[in-house]
Structure 1
Amino acid sequence: MTHHAADTALDALAWVESPLQLLTAAEWAHRHRQRTGRSTAVVYRILDPQVVATAEALHRMAAPFVRFEPYLGIPWARLTTSRHWAIGDAFSGQFRAAAAVLPRPRRVTIVDDGAMVVHAMLALAGEVAYARPDQFESRSKTLLGGLVADRLRGLAHDGRVELFTSFPGADAPASRAGITVVRDEFTWLREAARREQLPAVRLPHPRIALGSARVIDALLPAERYLRWVRELAEDAPLSYLPHRRETPALLDAVGALPGVTVVRTGLPIELVLASAREPLELHTLASSAATTLRLVLAGTGSVIRETAPSALSAPRSRGVA
């Protein structure tokens, strides 16, 4: 390896599979450049249209990546030549395959993709299985998971694993695993908002319902979900921001509800709402978005109201509280 190649290998490679992972990787790359002077390239999965749209938006916003590279499958060559990986999904089957086969990187940063990062930290602390909860895994995937967990624990023992997260619940298990925790406060995104570099999205109403994947994941019946949205709209008109995995049929049903306007942005809600200047009233089922949006909307006077899915089991009482 030439001196130039060796020097380049010390720069970071972010490998992301979801819109929030991509946005979080941009936040981390901004901090990484400020603290070390090192650059970050990003490889992003092109099978998800919202990932592609997010990458295009971040490119127009001059996000702190030296390169944007779309990929299919595993970016073997790029991983081989990078000694610092910033990964978005520690449980990904593709990440497990790459981490089990390729030479161990010198450093790994985990950029979170929601509350699942808490479970990932518990797994690396050896307190739960290295697998997504409530999902069946093949024997080969389980074996790969064990191998990769051991590799990550070895790096953590040497002080070479970092967690970049906005979820405080991950702090304690990460500490028990020997992983350094750095707080993600969406600093770069808020700066971009102040420079007015964000995509222009018009919301017809400042009262917003955030879409959920619970119906798609068979965790909540569609009729209960639609009732939740309908009852919100009975109080005042709603802008509805869909979850990226909601089906067209479900969105059509939501859009047919009186007082509801579905706003299809094709972008993560953190990116859509960061440009807010006036207070917003957000309604969401309990989700990781409530955590990230509290940071993104800090200082705007916005209010986020979470509803526990269990509260949707019976019709809402309209009596006086």
Structure 2
Amino acid sequence: MSRRAGSAGHSTLAFVESPVQLLNVLEWAHAHAPGAELTLVVLSPTDPMTRGQLRRMAELAREEGHEVRWEEARGGPAAPFQTIGGLAGMLRRADRVVLGDPFSRYVQLLLTITKAPALVVVDDGTATMEFVAQLARGERLVRWHRKGGRPGPRDLLFAPVSSSARRRLTPGGNRQVEIFSAMPVDERPEGVTVTVNAFAWTRARFGPPRITKGADMVGTSLVETGVVDAERYLEAVRALARAHGATRYFAHRRESTEKLHRLVLETGLEVVRPDLPLELIARRGPVGRTILSFPSTVVHTLPLALAGTPVRVAVCDIDPAWLTDRASPRAQGFLSGVTDTARDVHRLSAVTAV
């Protein structure tokens, strides 16, 4: 039986749009609010892989005693209005709001409704690093892989909401803001509390894993987001797999079916579509003694989730020549920063196709 938020004083409302965000809300609750009344609102995307992982994560959240409210937030033109209207009362009553993606226009709209005195931002991968830096500098909230230059018409239309959300995420008066993150935070915004996500819930709930002799590779959606050229990426995966004896490729939930099909044909790797975030998959095992990755969130999170095991995480740099002409001018610097700031990882030079 799920606990109802708000039934015993303070109420916490969490909004998530991805499996990793939901995982990090569970980590936050385990570390900072054990036994607290928590309602998780899933603003469901349309992508089938993401939805499937979110369903599995929602089951785990219910097993932890949390209430989960699934919203078909993108189920047609009227869905956003129905979703926001249905959540307005809960937002106004909430004492604390936890959110996973401050760049999300959906979340920014919801922030204009709530008057909660406590706001918590949990990790949404490497985007958290950019969010913290932008908040510290007072800049508008823009995802790092977005093309530089002037804002488009939709950006201009949404600008007042985005500005309002940024103000809400800035501490002031009786409003407290916390960032709960496994990522490095170099530019700490004034007045913001930063606490470390050590993946204590993941380690307590799963594992330790059985470790195999070979290597596993972690996929990335850098091709799908227009940052890295598809041909260069496939060449790099093939060279890495050959050099390190990798046999399995854990696909990112946003990787296209066409790209993965080519990857199987050209590399011989077994493609695995995980049904949970990789931190949980690796902790459950079996997992390779070496995990190969390109610059991404997992080079920060996997060493924490696998702490106390002999598994080695190795990260391969992105060669600037792999970037597309559509990549943001900030892309190379940001990706290098992801690798440079990773702890407890083995760094590999960018590979060259042979």
- Deviation string 1:205-226 (CA, Å, 9 cap, x unpaired) is 7411111111111211111111
8 Å Cα contact 1:206/1:281 also seen in 2: yes
Residue 25 of structure 1 aligns to which amino acid in structure 2? V
Q: Does 1:89 align with 2:101?
A: yes
Q: Does 1:160 align with 2:176?
A: yes
Could you say if the C-alpha distance between residues 19 and 203 of structure 1 is closer, same or farther in structure 2, counting changes exceeding 3 Å? farther
8 Å Cα contact 1:11/1:83 also seen in 2: yes
CA distance in 1, matches of 2:192, 2:222: 31
| Greater alpha carbon shift after TM alignment, 79-88 vs 14-23 | 79-88
CA distance in 1, matches of 2:211, 2:59: 21
Give the Å deviation of 1:312. Answer: 6.5
Residue 70 of structure 1 aligns to which amino acid in structure 2? W
Give the Å deviation of 1:239. Answer: 0.4
Q: Does 1:181 align with 2:197?
A: no
Residue 305 of structure 2 is matched in structure 1 by: 296
Give the Å deviation of 1:184. Answer: 0.3
Residue 316 of structure 1 is matched in structure 2 by: 352
Residue 199 of structure 1 is matched in structure 2 by: none
Residue 122 of structure 2 is matched in structure 1 by: 111
CA distance in 1, matches of 2:247, 2:217: 7
| Greater alpha carbon shift after TM alignment, 219-228 vs 47-56 | 47-56
Give the Å deviation of 1:69. Answer: 1.1
CA distance in 2, matches of 1:212, 1:205: 23
Could you say if the C-alpha distance between residues 145 and 9 of structure 1 is closer, same or farther in structure 2, counting changes exceeding 3 Å? farther
Residue 27 of structure 1 is matched in structure 2 by: 27
Structure 1: 5+ residue stretches without partners: 197-201
> Alpha carbon RMSD of aligned pairs, Å?
2.8
- Deviation string 1:50-71 (CA, Å, 9 cap, x unpaired) is 4443343335445535211111
Residue 55 of structure 2 is matched in structure 1 by: 56
CA distance in 2, matches of 1:203, 1:257: 27
Give the Å deviation of 1:77. Answer: 3.8
Q: Does 1:191 align with 2:189?
A: no
Residue 122 of structure 2 aligns to which amino acid in structure 1? V
Q: Secondary structure at the match of 2:206?
A: helix
Structure 2: 5+ residue stretches without partners: 74-79, 323-349
State, as a whole percentage, how many aligned pairs show the same letter.
26
8 Å Cα contact 1:55/1:68 also seen in 2: no
Q: Secondary structure at the match of 1:56?
A: helix
Give the Å deviation of 1:167. Answer: 0.8
Residue 225 of structure 1 is matched in structure 2 by: 233
TM-score, with structure 1 as normaliser = 0.84
| Greater alpha carbon shift after TM alignment, 262-271 vs 58-67 | 58-67
Could you say if the C-alpha distance between residues 178 and 67 of structure 1 is closer, same or farther in structure 2, counting changes exceeding 3 Å? same
CA distance in 2, matches of 1:5, 1:245: 32
Residue 79 of structure 1 is matched in structure 2 by: 91
Q: Does 1:130 align with 2:141?
A: yes
Q: Does 1:265 align with 2:301?
A: no
Residue 53 of structure 1 aligns to which amino acid in structure 2? G
Give the Å deviation of 1:303. Answer: 1.1
Give the Å deviation of 1:237. Answer: 3.9
* Matched positions, count: 303
Residue 270 of structure 1 aligns to which amino acid in structure 2? E
CA distance in 2, matches of 1:262, 1:6: 43
CA distance in 2, matches of 1:232, 1:195: 27
Could you say if the C-alpha distance between residues 22 and 103 of structure 1 is closer, same or farther in structure 2, counting changes exceeding 3 Å? closer
CA distance in 1, matches of 2:17, 2:126: 16
Could you say if the C-alpha distance between residues 249 and 68 of structure 1 is closer, same or farther in structure 2, counting changes exceeding 3 Å? same
Residue 13 of structure 1 is matched in structure 2 by: 13
CA distance in 1, matches of 2:351, 2:126: 28
Could you say if the C-alpha distance between residues 77 and 284 of structure 1 is closer, same or farther in structure 2, counting changes exceeding 3 Å? same
TM-score, with structure 2 as normaliser = 0.76
- Deviation string 1:188-217 (CA, Å, 9 cap, x unpaired) is 111111499xxxxx9997411111111111
CA distance in 1, matches of 2:214, 2:225: 28
Residue 37 of structure 2 is matched in structure 1 by: 39
Residue 292 of structure 2 is matched in structure 1 by: 283
CA distance in 2, matches of 1:299, 1:203: 12
8 Å Cα contact 1:45/1:51 also seen in 2: no
